Amino acid sequence: MISHIMVLVSLILSFTAVASAGSFYQDFDIKWGDGRAKILGEGKLLTLSLDKASGSGFQSQNQYLFGKIDMQIKLVPGNSAGTVTSYYLSSLGSTHDEIDFEFLGNLSGDPYTLHTNVFTQGKGNREQQFHLWFDPTKDFHTYSILWNPRSIIFSVDGTPIRQFKNMQSDGIPFPKDQPMWIYSSLWNADDWATRGGLVKTDWSQAPFTASYRNFNAQACTWSSSSSSSSCSNNPTNNSWLSESLDSTGQERIKWAQKNYMIYNYCTDLKRFPLGLPSECSSA
């Protein structure tokens, strides 16, 4: 296991890491929404809007193969039932890899559901869901993905809430070969998002708006022209490449899951009557 991970690390040691914390103009392109997505404040703020006609979304200009990605987001306030704000990394194709944050809206006064998932080689079904310990509509909060050869760690305001470990030695696929773009979108999903689709979007509350700021990426960018990605061999600047949860991080993730996790696919025996996924017993 350790030797396998070290091989992965060694494959990228000669590469150049990019730390990005600049302008949304420099880092992202608005991909859809017909004017509903806006970059404001000289590139320091981005907003997505949703109305009955359309949602909106943006995509990173770079692809990444491993990275530590931070984004501050303020979610749709008030009655956000039926809406989904997604923030995720993904490659393309039927065997794509994907690392998801999705924020499922709710009626005023009821908590958002933070939905996480990991896809490997086109297969997902690894959902863990949480409520948050704060109101994510009142202010900006930092949502982070650390993706390196050891694991994928989801964090909220620096508190880890989920870890998906590299368990390839147990025959469990791990995202490590496909570069991914960063995406975000705000869209209507009232057929499933809130209470299984029982609560529909109230379009009288539209437009719904989510806001983004302070994107930061310590990451290995992918060059499509050379079909290669790389990170510097400077251990100080790229310590995230081998970062894992220390004892404090392990305690914090236990705290988050004990107090705020509302769904875990690894305990859903009704969903998997023939046996839980392999990573559930290996984790």
Say how many C-beta atoms besides its own lie within 10 A of residue 91's C-beta. 19
Which of these is catalytic: 42, 98, 251, 279?
A: 98
Cα 251 versus chain centre, distance? 22
- Alpha carbon 107 to its chain centroid, in Å, reads 23
Q: Is position 251 annotated as part of the catalytic site?
A: no
Its sign, for the CA torsion 78, 188, 26, 100, is: positive
Task: State yes or no: is 98 an active-site residue.
Answer: yes
The two tokens of residue 258 are 């004990």
Distance in angstroms (rounded) separating the CA atoms of residues 150 and 245: 10
Which one from 102, 243, 251, 279 is the annotated catalytic residue?
A: 102
User: Cα–Cα distance between 117 and 82 in angstroms, integer?
Assistant: 19
Backbone CA torsion sign across 187, 188, 190, 191: negative
Report, as residue numbers or ranges, the catalytic residues. Answer: 98, 102
